[in-house]
Amino acid sequence: NAGVTQTPKFQVLKTGQSMTLQCAQDMNHEYMSWYRQDPGMGLRLIHYSVGAGITDQGEVPNGYNVSRSTTEDFPLRLLSAAPSQTSVYFCASSYSRTPTRGGYTFGSGTRLTVV
Amino acid sequence: KNQVEQSPQSLIILEGKNCTLQCNYTVSPFSNLRWYKQDTGRGPVSLTIMTFSENTKSNGRYTATLDADTKQSSLHITASQLSDSASYICVVGDSGGGADGLTFGKGTHLIIQP
């Protein structure tokens, strides 16, 4: 089925550990982005990419790195995990940064706990 | 700063009843407004998208309205079903060119009781 696939679904990290959250889409979308969702807050943009080889920072980029070597994949790296990064992370994709039809397609999320 | 406020924060209604969720925004320059449905443990799924010139859009039992003058939108759910239990997120897009140009509301948590 076409869509956005995120792995893993759940992860527990110790403070200071690093890890990569994977995101892949098979819809040939140029635009991909990462959000975090915390209780009582709206989704906040971490990083985004308008195409392979192009990435940029969103609202809350500190502590995270991204790369976009292919159209399909957009991994999010936590460099040195901190308890403040405990959150649910969503990857999204679209044919455009500002689609006028449909909307973003979101993955099912990765629930990350940093202890 | 762009803001999107949703009300109520949570709502409980009986199956079969109708309900209306509200979204007020201060986003400039306005481009579009979207409603998403997010089931527990899942990612958001797009319900409707409206641009400045559109004042209503339907998707099955979901009808969204937009008043660009008062900067308000509503999502009306008709004949609610148990599967409508979810969070509903209002997202407003701007055409300012920065990042993804989206401002997310915190969502309304809707519970449908049998």
B84 to chain A, minimum CA–CA distance in Å? 18
Distance set, CA B66 to CA A59, B35, B113 (Å): 27, 11, 28
User: For residue range A6-26, what is the model confidence (pLDDT) as tens digits?
Assistant: 999 999 999 999 999 999 999
Residues listed for chain B: 114
- Which residues of chain B make contact with A33, given a CB cutoff of 8 A? 100
User: For residue range A57-97, what is the model confidence (pLDDT) as tens digits?
Assistant: 999 999 999 999 999 999 999 999 999 999 999 999 998 87
Provide the residue-wise pLDDT of chain B in tens; the chain has 114 residues. 889 999 999 999 999 999 999 999 998 888 899 999 999 999 999 999 998 888 999 999 999 999 999 999 999 999 999 999 999 999 998 877 666 788 999 999 999 999
Q: Do A4 and B43 touch (CB under 8 A)?
A: yes
Q: Check if the beta carbon of residue A70 is closer than 8 Å to that of residue B113.
A: no
- Which residues of chain B make contact with A106, given a CB cutoff of 8 A? 43-45
